[in-house]
Structure 1
Amino acid sequence: MAASSGTSGVDTLRSVPEARSVRTAATGGGAARWKIWLAAWPVTGVFVLSNMPTPLYPLWKQRMGFSSGTMTIIFACYIVGLLAALMVAGRLSDRIGRKPVLLPGLLLAVAACATFATASSVLELAVARLLTGIAIGITVSVGMAAVVDLGGASWVRQATLAASTAMVLGAGLGPLSAGILSQTLPEPTVAIFLVEIVLLLSAVVAMLCLPLPRPGADANGGWLRLPSVPTRNRVQVALGIAVFAPGITSTSFVLSLGPSLLADLLATHNRLVAGGMAFMMFAAATGVQFAVRRLGVRSILLGGLVSTAASMAALILAVHVSSATLLIVAAVLAGAAQGLGQFGGLSLIGVAVPPHRRAEANAALNVGGYVPAALLPVTAGYLGDAVGMTTSSTIFGAAMIAMAAAGAAFVGIRGREPINTASPE
């Protein structure tokens, strides 16, 4: 049994990034790094698919004639699939092992690519997004836990950084590559997803090469349930959700409605512009994690909330003055907010939650983030159809600022409590 931290207050929370970060011997350290980054590749490969359709929505919208509200419903199908996978994937992998759950997730991503490539109706797009969501749900809970597992206690911080940045790097590369290819290839909706299938198959090979032992969870309880964590670790997960939720909800808004806003503000349907904006958003999410990796978790979490509020202020101003530049600033700040919330939450889980509950704790963190990320942008999309995107975006931005303020109050109060390390619960 690992003892609870003997310190308390702000100093304890600040010490979390450094906990268990003692270097292994040089010979073992190189092997650990190699395994960590190889395990991160499937996470990147699947997350490339997560946002790859973003620049293509205006093209599909033109071909199929659906509204902004319908577009957010298609986007929400992704989150429905993701949430469904989170209900079972983490617990299943904690019981039977990472690899038997991850490999089917990769194959579902391949099936989603094939469906996107041949889609000719809204229903097919919705099915493709649903399959994508399931694959992402498996990857975000199980794949990221596998990366941290391979890092072990000595490399938990490096492994957490690798898992978190692999996710946002893939999320940014998807729309950028789709934007470039869709402007240069004659059949972009086919070629783009064929390229992604090749990437996913390489991720399957990487996964087969990795030694991923079963974490050794007990067999008590049902297979399908809301993800949970040991009682002593609930504050850590709640702190992560308080920052991750407003951050990822803001990026979800940009991904689902950003192309339409750009078309209104710039009067252009250039898909490279939309893809480039999404890439910049997730490039910020990646870079900010490297920039803050030596800071304490409480500072990281508070920084994420400040970034969310600043992003939404920029969004509100952008739609009122019709500024594409401010919209891009809002996207970059939203990406930084998601990256900070994600890295802070995963850092707490990696240090505090025992390995046999880690994937389920990752799932709990993501359920807390993706529920508002599904509901609020859809609401904003339909509200925009009714009253206009300027009013809708203003209401959405104000709601996110309020959510960030509530999160800051929670982190300010509970973030001063001691952080308990892994227990056998």
Structure 2
Amino acid sequence: MTLRLGMPSNHSAPSAQVASPATTPIGSSGRAFASVVFAFTVVMLGTTLPTPLYAIYSDELGFGVTTTTVIFGVYAAGVIAALVLFGRWSDIVGRRPLLLAGAALSTASAVVFLTAGPVWQLMIGRVLSGLSAGIYAGAATAAVIELAPRGWRHRAPAIATAANIGGLGLGPLIAGLLAEFVAAPLRVPFAVDLVLLAAAMAGIWAITEPVAVRRGARLTVQRLSVPPEVRAVFLRASIAAFAGFAVMGTFTGVTPSFVSQILGISSHALAGILVSVLFLSSAVTQIVGRRLPTELSLIVGCAILVAGVGVLIGGLLAASFVLLLVGAVVCGIGQGLSFSKGLAAVVAASPADRRAEVTSSYFVVAYVAISIPIVGEGIAAAQWGLRTSGIVFDVVVGVLALIALALSVVAVSPSRARFRRR
């Protein structure tokens, strides 16, 4: 099956494939569509819910920023495992079983956090959360598009993006506000999450399977590879993706500690708002910019990401919340544009029968960027301090974004020269 999602969202699956019209039911109901959009939002919300709570866990359990980054990093391992192991399964066994399984894993994660004690329990919760996100990235994106009512079909990819990244942005916002203004800040956010997940699972249970299940089909692992003719495009796009996701990883894993320890701001609400702004800026950018030209937008996105990282460095040096907030907005815009257009370039350059492999590889690069660099920053913070390690990390990310920008400019220049000669 070929990839037919057009422009997938920031976390959309490498193998998220829409069934052909012959295998898709004609009568997709608005209720089923709304149920999948709601479930997508809730599951992704749960993945970032612990973000503003790490500072509280750190105080209560007595661990530092290194452990915080490891707890966050194992989430990415869960996502990668789900993308590789289960990326194709919803095409074989159906969307509905995978959506229920992903919601069940998200529920298990919320229960683990609700009853969390030792650090290892937090890590288990994050792995479960990563598995749920990896499953939903593909199955839910495809289901949103397949179940969209006829008049909403052209908007469905953008709605999937809004549910996906919007959910990621809502998680820290909701948890931060609850942690600031209600009792039991480590319990109430996950109790609320469980209520939302119960409603989401009820909605998914009631939908009709949107694709024809292939009887006797064999469950396979998603292969990773990049054909030689795609490698130049893949290299520059994946460098930009790595830089953008590394920024997201830093914000989600380290920013709450920086806000409390360096800025001296004890408000969990402000920490949650700071993180959510980055994700929501990315989501809005991907939706608004979905029709912009790919190559030019990739260049502009990389340039904006470089500028955003510069603002973040200024915020770290000046210990300024305002600069960090502005940097979050700018980085979100740059990440959203460079990642989505990088993915578009990779999809367009890939042979039709190899797109799932190539986009799987692209997403794995992105999630490696969330895990390994953030753990490295945590280790560096233990040696150099949170501010210094953050500045060094942002400089490296800025250099990567500059490399991606230079490669994109070089790639576009010959084609423009040929056009002018004509």
Asked if TM exceeds 0.5, the reply is yes
The CA deviation at 1:274 is 0.5
Whether the aligned pair in 2 keeps the contact of 1:76 and 1:374 (CA below 8 Å) is yes
Compared CA separation, residues 32 and 399, structure 1 to 2 (3 A): farther
Candidates 138, 143, 151, aligned match of 2:140 = 143
Question: For the residues of structure 2 that align with 1:417 and 1:160, how far apart are their CA atoms?
Answer: 32
User: Equivalents in 2 of 1:58, 1:40: separation in Å?
Assistant: 31
Distance in 2, Cα, partners of 1:149 & 1:349 = 23
Q: Report 1:103-114 matches (<5 A).
A: 103-114=100-111
Shift of 1:189: 1.7
For residues 414 and 32 of structure 1, what CA distance do their matches in structure 2 show? 45
Q: Distance in 2 between matches of 1:205 and 1:41?
A: 11
Show the 5 A alignment for 1:269-284: 269-284=266-281
| Among candidates 39, 57, 74, match of residue 71 of structure 2 | 74
Task: Tell me how far apart the structure 2 counterparts of residues 315 and 217 of structure 1 sit (CA, whole Å).
Answer: 52
Amino acid at match of 1:372: A
The 10-residue stretch of structure 1 (353-362 or 301-310) with the greater mean CA deviation from structure 2: 353-362
Which gives a bigger RCO, structure 1 or 2 (Cα 8 Å, sep 6+)?
1
Residues 141-180 of structure 1: pairs in structure 2 closer than 5 A:
141-150=138-147, 158-180=155-177
Give the Å deviation of 1:148: 3.8
Distance in 2 separating the partners of 1:415 and 1:291? 23
Q: Find 2:211's aligned residue among 210, 213, 224.
A: 213
Aligned residue for 2:116? 119
The question of whether the paired residues in 2 share the 8 Å contact of 1:277 and 1:331 is answered with: yes
- The two structures have a TM-score, normalised by structure 1, of 0.81
Question: What TM-score results when the alignment is normalised by the length of structure 2?
Answer: 0.82
- Identify if the C-alpha distance between structure 1 residues 143 and 416 changes in structure 2 by more than 3 Å, giving closer, same or farther: farther
- CA distance in 2 between partners of 1:416 and 1:72 (Å): 40
Question: In the TM superposition, what whole-angstrom CA distance separates every residue of 1:324-343 from its partner, at most 9, and x where no partner exists?
Answer: 21112222222223322443
**Contact 2:102–2:135 at 8 Å: present in 1 too?**
yes
Measure how far apart 1:141 and its partner are.
2.8
State which of 350, 373, 376 in structure 1 corresponds to 2:373: 376
**CA apart distance, 1:200:** 1.8
CA deviation after TM superposition for structure 1 residue 254, in Å: 0.9
CA distance in 2 between partners of 1:307 and 1:217 (Å): 48
Any conservation in 2 of the 1:160–1:347 contact (CA below 8 Å)? no
Tell me how far apart the structure 1 counterparts of residues 211 and 234 of structure 2 sit (CA, whole Å).
25
Q: Which residue of 1 aligns with 2:290?
A: 293
Aligned residues of 2:79 and 2:134 also touching (Cα < 8 A):
yes
Matched residue of 1:266: which SS?
coil
Gaps of 5+ in 1: 3-27, 419-425
1:192 aligns with 2:189: yes
What 5-or-longer segments of structure 2 have no aligned partner? 3-24, 416-422
TM-fit CA distance, 1:367: 0.9
Residues 246-280 of structure 1, C-alpha deviations (whole Å, 9 max, x = no match): 11210110111101111234312211110111121
Closer, same or farther: CA 358–29 of 1 in aligned 2, 3 Å: farther
Question: Which whole-Å CA distance do the structure 2 matches of 1:184 and 1:300 have between them?
Answer: 41
* 2: CA distance, partners of 1:214 / 1:347: 28
Contact 1:237 1:364 in 2 (8 A): no
* C-alpha distance 113-101 of structure 1, shift in aligned 2 (>3 A): same
The reply to whether residue 319 of structure 1 matches residue 316 of structure 2 is yes
Residue 249 (str. 1) matches residue 236 (str. 2)? no
CA contact (8 A) 1:82 1:134 kept: yes
Which AA in structure 1 matches 2:307? A
Q: Given that residues 311 and 331 in structure 1 are in contact (C-alpha distance below 8 angstroms), is that contact kept between their aligned partners in structure 2?
A: yes
Separation of aligned partners in 2, 1:114 and 1:309 = 39
2:55 counterpart of 1:58 = yes
Alignment map for 1:19-30 (pairs within 5 Å): none
Q: State whether residues 168 and 339 of structure 1, in contact with CA within 8 Å, keep that contact through their aligned partners in structure 2.
A: no
| 1:43 and 1:167 in contact (8 A); partners too | yes
Could you say what secondary structure the match of 1:299 adopts?
A: helix
